[in-house]
Structure 1
C-alpha cells in the first residue's frame, strides 16, 4: 500500500521538474541578442517586481493549500529558477551589446553558469565583470540574492507554517498536491 504522502510528493517534484525544464528551454531558445540598455534595465526591474508580486500570490496559495509544505517547496524552486534566469538573460543581453563587459564572451550556458556562481557566492573567478555596467548589474544580483534568500524564503516558509497550522486546526490531512 502507498504511503499517503508519496503521491503528492511525486506530483510536486514532477511539476517542479517540468516547470523548471520548460523555463530553461524557453531561455535556451529565446532570442537574447539585443543590446542591454535602459529598456532592458527597466524590463529587469519590472520582472523582479513581478516576481515579488508572484511571491505574495504564492504565499496566499500556500496558506490555503492542503499541502502547504509541498506547495512552499514548489513555489521556492519556481521563484528561484525565474530569478536566476532573469539575471542570466540580463548578463547575456549585456554581453551581446559588445565585448568588454566580462572577461570573456558569454554564451547562454556561460551566462547561467555565472549567475549561479554569483548566487551561490562561489565566485570561481573564471568569468568576471570588467565594465562598470557589468559590475553594477552583478552587484544588483548579489543584493537581490540576499533579498531572495532572506525575504522570499522567509515569506514562503512562514506561509507554509501558517498553512500547516490552518490545516491542523481544520483536521484535514496533508495528502493533496
Structure 2
C-alpha cells in the first residue's frame, strides 16, 4: 500500500478539480469507515472463525494513506500548506496529526486544508479509536483463551 501511495498518479485530483477530489475523498473514506465498522462488529460478535485484526490494521493504515494523498493533492495549490511539498511530507504530517504531536513545521493555511485536517482528527477519534479498541479487545481475548483465562467483564 505504501508503494502504491508513492507512485499513484494524483495529478487528476486537487484544487483544480474540487468536485472530483471531494467525491473521491468522501467515497473512499466512507467505504473504509463502513469496512472498519463491519470488522469491529466481527470482533464484538467474537466469531472464532474470523480474523478481523489483520483487516482492521490494513484499513487503519489505508485511511492514513488516504489522508496523506489528500494533503499532497491539496498542497499543489499555492498557500494551502506551509512546509508540505512532497508525498513524504504529507505522510509525515498525517502521522504527526494522528499522533496529536503537532510540531508546527507543516501548517495548514487554507480553509480547505484546515477542514481536511479537522476531518482527519474527527475521523481518528471516532473510527480509528474504535478500531484500535477492537483490535486490543480481540488480542486480549485470544491471549486470555490461550492462557486459560476469560476476559474480564
Into which bin does the TM-score normalised by the smaller protein fall? Answer: 0.7 to 0.9
Q: How does 1:2-151 map to 2 (within 5 A)?
A: 23-34=1-12, 35-36=14-15, 37-59=18-40, 62=43, 63-66=46-49, 71-72=52-53, 74-96=54-76, 98-151=77-130
Deviations 1:79-115 (A, max 9, x none): 221110010010111112x211001342110110010
* Higher helix proportion: 1
Q: How does 1:149-168 map to 2 (within 5 A)?
A: 149-157=128-136, 160=138
Deviations 1:4-58 (A, max 9, x none): xxxxxxxxxxxxxxxxxxx001101101123241221121111111112212333
Secondary structure, counterpart of 1:106 in structure 2: coil
User: Which 5+ residue runs of structure 2 have no aligned equivalent?
Assistant: 146-153
User: Which 5+ residue runs of structure 1 have no aligned equivalent?
Assistant: 1-22, 169-177
Contact kept? 1:89, 1:111, Cα under 8 Å: yes
Count of aligned pairs between the two proteins: 141
